[in-house]
Amino acid sequence: MRLIIFAFGYVVLASSLLAQTEQAFTLKQAQEYALKNNYERISAEKDVLIAKKKVMETTGIGLPKVDFEANFQNFLDLPVSLVPASAFDPNAPKDKFAELKIGTDYNTTAKITATQLLFDGSYIVGLQASRTYKSFAEKSLEKTEIMVREEVAQAYYLSLVADENLTILKKIAESTTKLLEETTRIYQEGFVEEQSVDQLQLTVNNINNSLSEAERQKAIALNFLKFQMGLELSSPIVLTDKIEMLLTEVSAEDAFAKEFKVENSIEHQIIKVNEDLMKLNLRKERFAFAPSLAAFFNHQQQNMSNKFEVFSGGTWYPSTLWGLSLKLPIISGGMRLAKMGQAKLDYEKAVNTTKQVEQSITLKVQQAKSNYTSAYSIYNNQKDGLRIAEKINNNSVKKYTEGLISSMELTQSQTQYLETEAKYIKSLLDLFNSTSELKKALGTKE
């Protein structure tokens, strides 16, 4: 029994540990995961499914419809009708009426009705519009997927840069703390002034504050990435792509490698579909002046009796008919003309919006390319600047330990190093973000 309990406990513990196992993601894996689990992407996919159901609903309007209806009535008191008594007795006074109960105690009716739309211009256009709307939903889903990919990329970059910032600060903190310990030892031996120790302690405190803030920023960045991916915030993850590897995929020439065509942009494709919808709406209003034609068929069986005999035979009286129904609009008080005028203006407005969006997309791409090129140049300069600042700081530390410079001069060197490091981190993040912003502006999956 103890062995069983032990085994059960081991399984529970193993399951618990397994549940907390870190999931490893490259950037591409994170993007693929988000395309299945991101909240906005899931909603956009639902919109596509809704649009498909809308097409089915609209198609059904023009298909045959069959309805069955059954009614059962039991008159506890038959209705009384008054008729002139002279109808039965010629000698009866004219103002005298006879009371008649007309009908039977039990009435049962079963009816089947079939209808078929033969022609309706609005239906034809409505069917086209529903299919176009489905295309609109599909394009919107594609746009959402593009946005999700780039938002995940930006969050991934932010997490890596936050980690890089933390790594550099830890390195600076470690070397500065060692220097403080060495200076404190020398001070205790009476070789340096207390001010040198205080100056270094102040620097260490500032670095530790930056380190704590960097830790918080890293945690926030990682949670933001999880949110964009559609992961539970409590799920532990590890990022396997390194900054150096991702930087090899970032080249200023890439922004200009392919010829940009505005019609390839998903934003342009969506606005064109919207223009098509407005055009179809105009056609629908024009068809409002056209007639509609439908056919119908009706068959009815009725049982009437003073006894309940629905399930025991009885006499059923049939009634069957078919026909056509023509509806021709004639006068609407100018309402149809007004609606057609509105639809025409809406279409013209959509055409104008398409032209505006085309110019806007072109402008966004130009601006994004410019920002991308600028960010790439700034990053290279800041990367070189960080190398120089680190070299200067190392030389200053060496000179300080040799007694060639004061603690104030060392602090200035370290402050310059920290400021340069912050600028480098910002330039790195700006470079990655400008890459994503350019891809968003291009509006393509590539």
Query: What would the two tokens of residue 320 be?
Result: 């069957």
Q: What's the distance, CA 223 to chain centroid?
A: 19
Does the pLDDT at position 4 exceed 60? no
Q: Where are the domains of the chain?
A: 20-62+120-290+333-442, 68-118+293-328
Interatomic CA distance for residues 393 and 415, integer angstroms: 9
Adjacent-strand bridge partners of 67: 113
Cβ–Cβ < 8 Å for 217, 144: no
Q: Is 436 exposed, middle or buried (0-12, 13-18, 19+ CB in 10 A)?
A: buried
Give the contacts of 13 (CB within 8 A, at least 6 positions apart): none
Place of tokens 């602090």: 411
Helix/strand/coil for 285:
helix
Beta strands in 89-232 (DSSP E): 97-101, 106-119
pLDDT over threshold 70, residue 212: yes
Q: Of all helices (H) and strands (E), which one includes residue 327?
A: strand 316-327
Q: State whether residue 396 is helix, strand or coil.
A: helix
pLDDT at 11: 41
% of the chain with per-residue pLDDT over 90: 64
C-alpha distance across the termini of the chain, in Å: 61
Mean pLDDT over 179-191 rounds to 86
pLDDT score at 254: 58
The answer to whether 226 and 219 have CB atoms below 8 angstroms apart is no
Q: How many residues appear in the chain?
A: 446
User: Which pLDDT value is given to residue 59?
Assistant: 94
- Residue 401 or 125, more confident: 125
Query: What's the whole-model pTM score?
Result: 0.81
The answer to whether residue 52 scores a pLDDT higher than 70 is yes
Pairwise CA distance, residues 436 & 19, whole Å: 33
- CATH match for 20-62+120-290+333-442 among 3.40.50.300, 1.20.1600.10, 3.10.310.10, 1.10.357.10: 1.20.1600.10
Please state whether beta strands 97-101 and 80-84 pair in parallel, antiparallel, or not at all (unpaired). Answer: antiparallel
Tell me what percent of the chain is helix, strand and coil, each rounded to the nearest 5: 65, 15, 20
pLDDT, one tens digit per residue, over 254-279 is 556 667 889 999 999 999 999 999 99
Q: Residue 6 pLDDT more than 60?
A: no
Q: Residue 82 — pLDDT band, cuts 50, 70, 90?
A: confident
More reliable by pLDDT, 309 or 274: 274
pLDDT exceeds 70 at position 222: yes
Residue 251 pLDDT > 70: no
The beta strand positions in 235-291, using DSSP E, are 237-239
H helix runs in 319-406, sequence order: 335-401
**Amino acid (1-letter code) at residue 350:** A
Residue labelled with tokens 């959509």: 350
* pLDDT beyond 60 at 8: no
Q: Once rounded to an integer, what is the mean pLDDT over residues 278-291? A: 93
